[in-house]
Amino acid sequence: MTKTTSTSRTLRARTRAVRGGLERSQHGETSEALYLTSGFAYPDAGSAERRFRNEEPGYIYSRFSNPTVAAFEQRLTLLEDAPEGVECRATATGLAAVSSAFLGTLSAGDHVLSSRALFGGCRYIVEELLPRLGIASTLIDGADIKTWEAAIRPNTKAFFLETPSNPALEIFDVRAIADLAHAHGAMLVIDNVFASPIFQKPFALGADIVVYSATKHMDGQGRVLGGAILARKEVFDDKLGVYLRNTGPSLSPFNAWVLLKGLETMDLRVRAQAAGAEQLIAYLKTAPGVSNVRYPFDPDHPQTNLARSQMSGGGTVVTFDVAGGRDAAFAFANALEVIDISNNLGDAKSLLTHPDTTTHARLPEAERRALGITEGMFRLSVGLEDPLDLIDDIDAALKSSR
Ligand SMILES: Cc1ncc(COP(=O)(O)O)c(C=O)c1O
């Protein structure tokens, strides 16, 4: 008999990553089936009525749920080590996950308190979109817990942060911030993209909602967009589930299938990429014309102790500054022959981003500088190439652009 399902939380993490959410069809396929269908046929009219009333199990329409999407959601929940009762809903992109987490749970008159160290799209949602809809927001320098405390209002319903942040790799004390949020009746929403579920388990640190861009490490090979929201079942039952079902930020079954397969190798990829990042920073710290090398597990990172207390690895992203301003920075980037210039991250290919002119360009200059984004700053997502080739590439580019 073929094994059909594997949802056990008792299996070890790497087994869950490969077997979690597996639900074989009658054919017993080894790779997960791809249910590329928008809808489902009902055995009879009464069944359709009962399914719409939630009185009978079964799929209805892929905007609501789909077996391939459900397999991805199940596998990610298992990988996250989410506590009993936490569920996952997949979304079309990471930003669909972030916007839905707020729009599906908050109402006009509520207030969101957020760290200002956010990815550009996340900042747009918190800083511009929510206030336009009557949900006030305050952005703070969140390194000191007192700044969070001082900005709480009676109507604060959600705290939000990315740790490590994009791109400056700032670390926030998740346990302390979660305790503060809970003491004031607010929920803590964490964007865990940079750490990935491999290196950081936000629920164990007190988070209430965890959001992901699955486009990054989960795919890990630059193929599809995707996102995910993990939260307790009650959060979905209360408002978020209805929001998702009726606004339609759903993940396509095809993308879910690619991401499901990506989860099988994510642990191996992320650990290998992090090892590559460690090798690269050792070189970058000695490279002429390079300064301000940042990596959460580097002893020179100002918050490395905090990073080590809540992460089990330093991640796959390194940042550094190249001397000489924007022209020198562009000359360096243009001289690279292996590493690509791109805005994505978490990919098997090493990708270099100039946040000042791309991902964070919509922020005013003073704000970019306050976030540590200078004209010479680069964010490097370390891929799976041999780190020695990456070092040679950077070394040659630095020399030729000097
Ligand atoms: C920290 C972070 N959150 C969210 C997103 C948005 O993800 P997506 O591009 O899948 O919408 C990104 C994308 O770069 C990101 O870096």
pLDDT digits (tens, 9 = 90+) for 106-145: 999 999 999 999 999 999 999 999 999 999 999 999 899 9
Count of all residues that appear for the chain in the document: 402
Average pLDDT over residues 59-74: 97
In ligand 1, the atom with minimum distance to the C-alpha of 225 is: 10
Question: Could you give the CA distance from residue 55 to residue 47 in angstroms, rounded to a whole number?
Answer: 9
Q: 267-401: same fold as 13-262? A: no
Q: Which amino acid is located at 367 in the chain?
A: E
385: Cβ–Cβ under 8 A, 6 or more apart, which residues? 276, 338, 349, 350
Question: Could you give the CA distance from residue 77 to residue 210 in angstroms, rounded to a whole number?
Answer: 11
Residue 253 CA to ligand 1 center (angstroms) comes to: 20
Cβ 210 under 6 angstroms from ligand 1 = no
Q: And the tokens for 48?
A: 């359709």
Q: What confidence category does residue 6 fall into, taking pLDDT thresholds of 50, 70 and 90?
A: low
Please, what sign has the CA dihedral across residues 356, 359, 362, 367?
A: negative
Least confident segment among 41-45, 176-180, 360-364: 360-364
Burial status of residue 338 (CB atoms within 10 A of its CB: 0-12, 13-18, 19 or more): middle
Residue nearest to atom 9 of ligand 1 (CA): 94
Best residue among 102, 166, 317, 343 to mutate for probing ligand 1's pocket (most ligand atoms within 8 Å of CB) is 166
Cβ 90 under 6 angstroms from ligand 1 = no
CATH superfamily membership of 267-401:
Aspartate Aminotransferase, domain 1 (3.90.1150.10)
Residue 96 CA to ligand 1 center (angstroms) comes to: 9
Of residues 263 and 13, the one with the higher pLDDT is 263
Cβ 347 under 6 angstroms from ligand 1 = no
pTM: 0.96
Q: Compute φ and ψ for 2, nearest 5 degrees.
A: -85, 145
Residue 126 CA to ligand 1 center (angstroms) comes to: 14
DSSP 251: P
- DSSP, residue by residue, 96-151: HHHHHHHHTT--TT-EEEEES---HHHHHIIIIIHHHTT-EEEEE-TTSHHHHHHH
Q: Which amino acid is located at 32 in the chain?
A: E
User: Do residues 306 and 176 make contact, with C-beta atoms less than 8 angstroms apart?
Assistant: no
Residue 197 CA to ligand 1 center (angstroms) comes to: 15
Residue 77 CA to ligand 1 center (angstroms) comes to: 19
Q: Of 293, 231, 249, 279, which Cα lies nearest the Cα of 100?
A: 249
The C-alpha R_g of the chain, in whole angstroms, comes to 22
CATH architecture of the region 13-262: 3-Layer(aba) Sandwich (3.40)
Per the prediction, the chain carries an average pLDDT of 96
pLDDT value for 5: 58
Burial status of residue 41 (CB atoms within 10 A of its CB: 0-12, 13-18, 19 or more): exposed
In ligand 1, the atom with minimum distance to the C-alpha of 194 is: 1
Residue 225 CA to ligand 1 center (angstroms) comes to: 10
pLDDT digits (tens, 9 = 90+) for 306-355: 999 999 999 999 999 999 999 999 999 999 999 999 999 999 999 999 99
- DSSP, residue by residue, 22-41: EE--TT--SSPP----SB--
- Sequence ranges of the domains in the chain: 13-262, 267-401
